[in-house]
Structure 1
Amino acid sequence: MGYPSMFLPAQGDPRLDEFVAAVNRHEVSQVHRDHALFDVAFALTCHGLTFADLGPEALLYHSQECRRLGLTTANIGDPGRHQGQVAWQVLHQMGHFPDGSPPRMKELLLPGQRSIAELVARRPIDNEPVRQLIIDYLTRRASEVAYSTLKNLARTIAHTFWRKIETINPGQCDLHVDHAVYAQWKAELRFRENGEPRTDAEHILLQIRSFYLDLHSWAVEEPERWAVWAAPCPVSRGDLRGFGARRRRLQERTDDRTRQRQPLLPILLAHVETRLEDAQNFLSLASSASPGEHLAHQGRSYRRAVEERLDFVGDPVVHAREVESNELIDVTALEESLFWEWATVEVLRHTGIRIEELVELSQLSVRQYQRPNGEVIALLVIAPSKTDRERVISMSADLFHVVAAIIRRLTRHGRKIPLISRYDQHEKTWSAPMPFLFQRQRGGTRAVISPQRVLRLLSRRCETLAEQHVAFRGLVFTPHDFRRLFATELVNSGLPIHIGAALLGHLNLQTTRGYVTVFNEDIVKHYQEFLMRRRALRPQEEYRDATRGEWKEFEEHFDKRKVELGSCSRPYGSPCAHEHACIRCPMLHISPKMVPRLDEIETDLRQRRERAEHEGWRGEIEGIDLTMSFLQAKRIEALRSQRLSQHVDLGLPNPAAARRD
Structure 2
Amino acid sequence: MRWDASPLGQGQIAADEVGSRRTTGTSVIPGVRALYCLRVIQPTPLAFRRNPLPNYGVMFIAAQEDPLLDKYVAEVRAHQFRQVHRRDAINELCMLLTVQGVTLSDVTPAALLHFTHENRQARCILQPGSQVSNRLIGRGVWNVLHSMGHFPPSTPESMRAALLRGQLSVEELVDQYEITNQAVRGLLIDYLTRRKADTDYSTLKDLACKLTRHFWKNIERINPDQEELRISPETYATWRQAITVKDDGKPRVGQDSIVIALRSFYYDLHTWAADEPERWAAWVAPCPVPPSELRGLGVRRRRINERSADRTRQRQPLLPLLVNHVETRYDRARLLLEQADKSAEGEVFTHEGSEYRRIRTEADRKFLRHGDAVPTRVQEVDSGRIVHIGTEEEGAFWEWAAVETLRHSGVRIEELCELTHLSIRQYQRANGEVIALLVIAPSKTDRERVIPMSAELFHVIASIIRRHTRTGRPIPLVSRFDYHDKVWSPPMPFLFQRQNGTTPMVFSTATIQVMLGRICEQLAKNHREFRGLKFTPHDFRRIFATELVNSGLPIHIGAALLGHLDVQTTRGYVAVFDEDIVRHYQEFLHHRREVRPEGEYRDTTEREWEEFEEHFDRRKVELGSCGRPYGTPCQHEHACIRCPMLHINPKMLGRLEELETDLLARLRRAQDENWLGEVEGINLTLTFLRAKREETQRRTRRPAVDLGIPTARRKEDH
TM-score (norm 1): 0.86
**SS in structure 2 of the partner of residue 317 of structure 1:** coil
Alignment check: 8 A CA contact 2:648 2:696 kept: yes
1:416 alignment counterpart: 474
The change in CA–CA distance for 1:71 and 1:235 in structure 2 (over 3 A counts) is closer
Correspondence 1:375-454 to 2 at 5 A = 375-454=433-512
d(CA) in 1 for partners of 2:681, 2:303? 36
Question: Partner of 2:425: helix, strand, or coil?
Answer: strand
8 Å Cα contact 1:29-1:313 kept in structure 2: no
Contact 1:147/1:426 (<8 A) preserved:
yes
- Shift in Å at residue 628 of structure 1? 3.4
Pair 1:166–1:553, CA change in 2 (3 A): farther
**SS of structure 2 residue aligned to 1:414:** coil
Please state how far the C-alpha of 1:112 moved relative to its aligned partner. 0.7
Q: Secondary structure at the match of 1:70?
A: helix
CA distance 1:368–1:472, change in 2 (3 Å): same
Contact 1:350–1:399 at 8 Å: present in 2 too? yes
In the superposition, relative to structure 1, how do residues 139 and 581 fare at CA in structure 2: closer, same or farther (>3 Å)? farther
Residue 79 of structure 1 aligns to a residue in which SS? Answer: helix
Q: For 2:438 and 2:372, how far apart are their aligned partners in 1?
A: 32
The Cα shift of 1:204 comes to 1.3
Q: Paired residue for 1:339, among 386, 393, 397?
A: 397
Q: 1:431 to 1:73 in 2, by over 3 A?
A: farther
Contact 2:356 2:378 in 1 (8 A): no
Deviation, 1:545, is 12
- Out of 638, 656, 660, the position equivalent to 1:598 is 656
Mapped pair 1:91 → 2:149: no
> What's the counterpart of residue 68 of structure 1?
121
Q: Which has the larger radius of gyration?
A: 2
Greater relative CO, 1 or 2 (CA 8 Å, sep 6+) = 1
The whole-number CA distance in structure 2 between the counterparts of 1:315 and 1:66 is: 29
Match of 1:304 in 2: 359
AA aligned to 2:260 is L
1:243 is aligned, of 297, 300, 324, to 297
Q: How does 1:174-573 map to 2 (within 5 A)?
A: 174-297=228-351, 298-299=353-354, 302=357, 304-307=359-362, 308=364, 315-322=373-380, 326-507=384-565, 549=606, 555-570=613-628
Contact 2:246-2:252 within 8 A present in 1 as well: yes
Say if 1:82 and 1:25 are closer, same or farther in 2 by CA, change over 3 A.
same
Q: What's the counterpart of residue 27 of structure 1?
A: 80
Q: Which residue of the other structure, out of 86, 107, 119, is the alignment partner of 1:54?
A: 107
Give a deviation string over 1:61-81, Cα, whole Å, max 9, x none: 222222233389999852322
Paired amino acid for 1:642: T
Q: Deviations over 1:609-653 (max 9, x none)?
A: 6777788776665555444333322222333333326251167x7
Deviation of 1:586 after TM superposition, in Å, equals 2.9
2:203 matched residue in structure 1: 149
Q: 1:496 & 1:579 partners in 2: Cα distance?
A: 19
Give the structure 1 partner of residue 706 of structure 2. Answer: 648
Whether 1:135 aligns to 2:189 is yes
* Identity over aligned pairs, percent: 54
Cα gap change, 1:389 to 1:359, in 2 (>3 Å): same
CA contact (8 A) 2:333 2:396 kept: yes
Question: Equivalents in 1 of 2:371, 2:457: separation in Å?
Answer: 27
Cα deviation, residue 598, structure 1: 3.3
Structure 1 residue matching 2:299: 3-state secondary structure: helix
CA, structure 1 residues 293+641, in 2 after alignment: closer, same or farther (shift >3 Å)? closer
Q: 1:170 aligns with which of 204, 224, 242?
A: 224
* Alignment check: 8 A CA contact 2:451 2:561 kept: yes
| 1:39 alignment counterpart | 92
Q: In the comparison of the two structures, how many residue pairs are matched?
A: 626
Q: Which amino acid aligns with 1:70?
A: R
- 5+ residue gaps in structure 2? 1-53, 568-600
One-letter amino acid matched to 1:405: S
Please give the per-residue CA displacement for 1:592-612, whole angstroms capped at 9, x wherever unaligned.
223334345445655666777
Output one character per residue of 1:174-223: Cα deviation in whole Å (capped at 9) or x when no partner: 21110000001111111112211111112211111121222222233333
Residue 374 of structure 1 and its aligned partner are, at CA, apart by 2.4
Q: Secondary structure at the match of 1:413?
A: coil
One-letter code of the match for 2:115? Answer: H
Distance 1:390 1:563 in 2: 33
The amino acid across from 1:305 in the alignment is: R
Cα distance, 1:116 vs. partner?
Answer: 0.7
Backbone CA RMSD of aligned residues: 3.2
- Is the contact made by 1:67 and 1:79 (CA closer than 8 Å) also made in structure 2? yes
Confirm or deny: 8 A CA contact 1:303 1:322 kept in the other structure. no
